Amino acid sequence: MMGDMHAVTREALGAALVGASLLVLACQENAVTASSAETRNRHAERARMVEQQIVARGIENAAVIAAMRRVPRHLFVSRSEASQAYEDHPLPIGYGQTISQPFIVAFMTEALDLDGSEKVLEIGTGSGYQAAVLGEVAGEVFTIEIVAPLAERARETLAGLGYDNVHVRAGDGYLGWPQEAPFDAVIVTAAPDHVPQPLIDQLAVGGRMIVPVGEDAQNLVLLRRTETGLEQEAVMPVRFVPMTGLVRTAEREPGD
Ligand SMILES: C[S@@+](CC[C@H](N)C(=O)[O-])C[C@H]1O[C@@H](n2cnc3c(N)ncnc32)[C@H](O)[C@@H]1O
């Protein structure tokens, strides 16, 4: 769990790293003052986002709410998008991809029912924001991104913010991360047209997976692995970017 560093401290550190080029141009005293004011404003915007978009819509898990209050979402998007970082919608992150809407991040994290000790696999690192939220509420996070420059950028952002319990790999997440399996929870943030069998195989007994499934019409599906098989339920209609790579050619399992 990443509860050891105070939110403002982590945010100020991240803002300082992201704003390094600005510091070169500005006189140091003014830059530091501007950066502190920006940090305070973002903190207020984020607190408002959590109250209006997360708590008001029924998210109850205290650890998830605290994580959403803590993670500086504006540092996971470009400077030109930062002013919209706490609004109620996804944002572009380049390469035709998006950072998910804050509510969806909170909803999917809550659905995993984590207690802080788990090993979690995420498919679709994107900006790294969801991985940071997971890093706050789980033990260790392994996250895979198919677009290599996005994986690299997310790795740098997460490292700059001190998330050393989040491990980023560039690659096709369809195959999961067998060397680190089994996982107590799996979260998929790009939509496959079927649940990838390797991800089911890498889910521990008793573990949960949340995954958007479908093409035009998608549903968020929650799976639980039991001693004898899998339980699954569709929990919400959603719209995610499609999963790419091997999923396009992989065989569906019978009954999928
Ligand atoms: C909606 S975005 C993810 C948002 C991300 N979780 C965040 O917090 O910013 C979906 C991501 O999944 C990635 N993706 C698509 N297919 C993938 C695959 N087969 N393996 C790994 N990543 C994949 C996309 O490149 C994209 O970055």
User: Sheet harboring 166-170: ordered strands across?
Assistant: 166-170, 140-145, 119-123, 183-188, 203-214, 218-225, 230-238
Domains within the chain, CATH numbers bracketed:
60-248 (3.40.50.150)
Rounded-to-integer distance, Cα 9 and Cα 72, Å = 11
Nearest atom in ligand 1 to the alpha carbon of residue 244 is 16
Residue type, position 167, single letter = H
Tokens linked to 201: 């195989």
Beta bridge partners of 98: 92
Determine if ligand 1 sits within 6 Å of the CB of residue 77: no
Q: Which of 140, 236, 136, 142 is nearest to 191 (CA)?
A: 236
Q: Write out pLDDT tens, residues 210-244.
A: 999 999 899 999 999 999 999 999 999 999 999 99
Instruction: Name the phi and psi angles at 170, rounded to 5.
Output: -85, 130
The residue nearest atom 5 of ligand 1, judged by CA position, is 126
Determine if ligand 1 sits within 6 Å of the CB of residue 35: no
Determine if ligand 1 sits within 6 Å of the CB of residue 101: no
Tokens linked to 42: 């973002």
Q: Which of 235, 234, 251, 242 is nearest to 123 (CA)?
A: 242
Chain centroid to CA 91: how far? 13
Determine if ligand 1 sits within 6 Å of the CB of residue 126: yes
Rounded-to-integer distance, Cα 98 and Cα 112, Å = 22
What angle, 0 to 180 degrees and rounded to 10, lies between the N-to-C axes of helices 7-18 and 62-70?
40
The residues of the chain scoring below 50 in pLDDT are 1-8, 17-32
Contact 143, 167 (CB under 8 A): yes
Omega before residue 182 within 30° of 0, cis: yes
Q: Write out pLDDT tens, residues 40-72.
A: 889 999 999 999 999 999 999 999 999 999 999
The residue nearest atom 13 of ligand 1, judged by CA position, is 124
Determine if ligand 1 sits within 6 Å of the CB of residue 130: yes
**Secondary structure in 3-state letters for 189-206:** CCECCCCCHHHHHCEEEE
Residue type, position 214, single letter = G
Instruction: Calculate how far, in angstroms, residue 147's C-alpha sits from the geometric centre of ligand 1.
Output: 8
Q: What is the pLDDT of residue 14?
A: 54
Q: What share of the chain is helix, strand, coil (3-state, %, to 5)?
A: 45, 25, 35
The answer to whether 36 is a known catalytic residue is no
pTM: 0.88
